[in-house]
Every structure is written in C-alpha cells, then in structure tokens.
Structure 1
C-alpha cells in the first residue's frame, strides 16, 4: 500500500497551499488520435489568453503568485512554475505540441484554469511519494537528459525512496517516472497557492477527473490535501 505524504517542512513554507490529486487506474493512454488532442490544446490556448491581460508578463497574477512562491525556497537559476512555461508559449504564439493523451489532457486543463498540473506513472514509484524539502542527495535524471542533476538542499521536490521525481516543486520531471503511452496507472497533481482561487481550483480538479475516464477509460479517485489532511493512500 503506497501513500502520498505532504511533509511538515513543506507546510512550514506554504501553510495555505492545497494539493489536488487524481489517481487514475486502468487507463488506456495509447491513442494515436493526434488530431483530437491537438484540437483540445488549441482550444485551451485560446482560453489561456484571459490570464495574460497585463502587458508585463510576470505581473499577471497567475504568474506572479508562483514567482513569489518560488522565492521561498532554493531553486535552480531560471526555474519557473510549469504554468508559467505554458503561458509563455501561448504569449509567444508557440503552440503546445501533443505528447501523449494523458499529458495533453492535463496540459489543456492547466491552460484553461491557470494552475500547474503534472503527472507520473504510479507503477514506477518506489515506496511512498512525498512532497517535501530535499536533502540535496536525491538522484534525479531530468527528462531529455543523461546526467544526474540532484536538487539543492531545501528545494521543494516530489520524491520517492529511489530519488526525486519532480524538481523545484513543479518545474522539471524525471525520466524514471514520466507518463508514456504504456502508462496504465497514473498520479496527477494540481497545486494551489492563491487562496482567492479556491473555487476555480476545485472546478479544474473536477474537470480533470472527468476528462480522464471519458477519453482513456479506467477509474479515477480525487482528493485534496492541505495542512489538515496531509496524506492519502494511492491505492491498495
């Protein structure tokens, strides 16, 4: 029985944060219907312009709240929240490409609602998953690279017993746990730091949990962790 635990050293920095989790079981992520998922992403990109109303990119609230959050812990130079990376592409007219159905689905939700979303293959996890401050010794092989790049001590990371699986909270994922077309069971996460957007957060999480079985089959379980509920069972 594997668990997801948000440690106290995370809550000491972000006592009002909420971590939304969608556990997906028995999905079929092998669809080759690229046109369908491109359409999903293009529509989401159009909606995302509502988050870019201010001329200065970093002043838009969806971006500025995460810039402030990233200042509270040690980060790699230039590391930015995943939603900022997506919105920068929208601003620059650089379309987000399809990766695989599950990633495309959560990227579309991320764009439409302005929250960072990520995902990992549960079957690659070793032991419990933790959102915590790194000790700095965790092995980490970033997506698309072939050299270890361990997090800094005190950096916010998702990790398991084998090493870090996402650095700088939601910046860069590991190759070891990435979602692929062969993924059957997935751990999806969405993060909130702006308390004024709690209603939109729950709407986004609900839509994500609806879209996955609609497109990929399987079953989903949704939970929200906060300082009062710090852990959950992934599945027995």
Structure 2
C-alpha cells in the first residue's frame, strides 16, 4: 500500500502551469502505533511554538517569505488568503495562544509544518480509494465536511486547486481544509503526509523538513516503515527521483 500510494501520486499539468516552482514530497508510513497526544508530541509542539515566536518577533505573519508565496499562489486560482489561509499560516497565527493539540500524528506533522514554515498535510491512507492527485477542480468533486455542527457535502469552485482520490476531494484549496473522510485519528496506523513547497523555499529546506518528520515517525516504534517520493514539474530533470 505504501509504495502504491506514492508511486501513483500525480500532479496535474494545470497546477504546474499555475506555479512552475511547485514541489511536493509525499511520505507514506505504515506500522504506526496509534494514540492520542502525548509527551512526545507535546515536546515537539512546544519547540515549534518557541521557534515560530522567535522567527516572528514583531513582524506580521503574512510578511514571512514562505507564507507570502502561498498567499500569492492562492490568489492565482481565485482564493482570498484573508478568508482562506494556507494551513501553515493558520497554524502560525495560533502560536501566540498555543498550537492545537489533536492527536499524536497530527501534532507531530503540525509541529514540523510550523517549525519549517511550509504546509504539511496528514491523511489516513487506509481511507483512500485510488492514488492521491493534485488537480484543478471541475466543480463537481464531492468534499465531505462539517458546517454548523452537521455533516455536509460541498463542492470546490471551478479551477480551485485540490487534492483528491477516486472518491472525492481530500483537501480543498491546495492545503486549506482537509476532508473528514481521510483525516488522521487516534486509531490511524497507516498515513500519508504531503509537503507542499514554493520558492523561496529551497530544496535543501524542503528535504530538511521531510527528514525531520521521517525521523519522528521512526522513533514512534520499531515496526514503522516509510516510503517517499518527490514530485516536480515534468520538465524538471529531478522528477520522480528518490529524496
């Protein structure tokens, strides 16, 4: 399942046309010990909060270069970043009052996201049907979420950048909001993590974040295994190289 998930992953040309500098790294992980937030994830979140506070100082969050790049990317497909913030911006804005504590796996990847200033998504791979794909939506793809406390099915706007599988959207607006169907839980044992990068983030910075998450996952238990893949624009000679 792990190898199939990353080898089958695909980014549509229309997304690269929007942002030729886009790169994604996917890590599929199995043998994960399930569980709630714990001392391990708490330590990582506190470290990320400390790093982010020092980085921010008195600057507005939107002035951080990597966050500004994502704001530009959102505007390019019609989203308003003041209303629908990229995941890393939303998390960074919560540093002052404390990052959310959700469950062990979610806490770990959120900590890596905030510390390294790039969007990271985590999905329960056992809930996927077909490989992950990043596309520009037709507007007919279903997205299961919650509104006013009730389960609802929404649809992305035409041209919106979304992650999806064969069933529907797994994350709207590139890395804004995840579907309930594939979200990580305290029972997840097989997961998919997606790292989204734009310039000015360098490949070295991207891989440093990926390596850190990989290390944290392997520390959770001896049965943990991971497979990863880099996705870049097809004309890039690095396309599909192991990372």
Same fold (TM over 0.5): yes
Deviation at 1:7, TM superposition (A): 1.1
Distance 1:27 1:96, change over 3 A: same
- Kept after mapping to 1: 8 A contact 2:37/2:107: no
Corresponding residue of 1:131:
134
When the two structures are aligned, how many residues end up with a matched partner? 229
Aligned 1:1-236 pairs, distance under 5 A: 1-2=4-5, 3-30=8-35, 32=36, 34-53=38-57, 55-75=59-79, 78-90=83-95, 93-142=96-145, 145-216=150-221, 217-228=223-234
User: What is the aligned-residue RMSD (CA, Å)?
Assistant: 2.0
| Structure 1: distance between partners of 2:63 and 2:134 | 27
Deviation at 1:36, TM superposition (A): 3.2
- Kept after mapping to 2: 8 A contact 1:22/1:220: yes
| 3-state SS, counterpart of residue 170 of structure 1 | coil
| Structure 1: distance between partners of 2:109 and 2:220 | 12
Deviation at 1:200, TM superposition (A): 1.2
Runs of 4+ in 1 over 6 A off after TM superposition: 229-232
Distance 1:75 1:120, change over 3 A: same
- Kept after mapping to 2: 8 A contact 1:4/1:231: no
| 3-state SS, counterpart of residue 95 of structure 1 | coil
Deviations 1:216-235 (A, max 9, x none): 44101122110136679xxx
Deviation at 1:44, TM superposition (A): 1.0
| Structure 2: distance between partners of 1:97 and 1:167 | 20
| Structure 2: distance between partners of 1:114 and 1:99 | 19
| Structure 2: distance between partners of 1:40 and 1:213 | 15
Deviation at 1:171, TM superposition (A): 0.3
Q: Which runs of 5+ in 2 are unaligned?
A: none
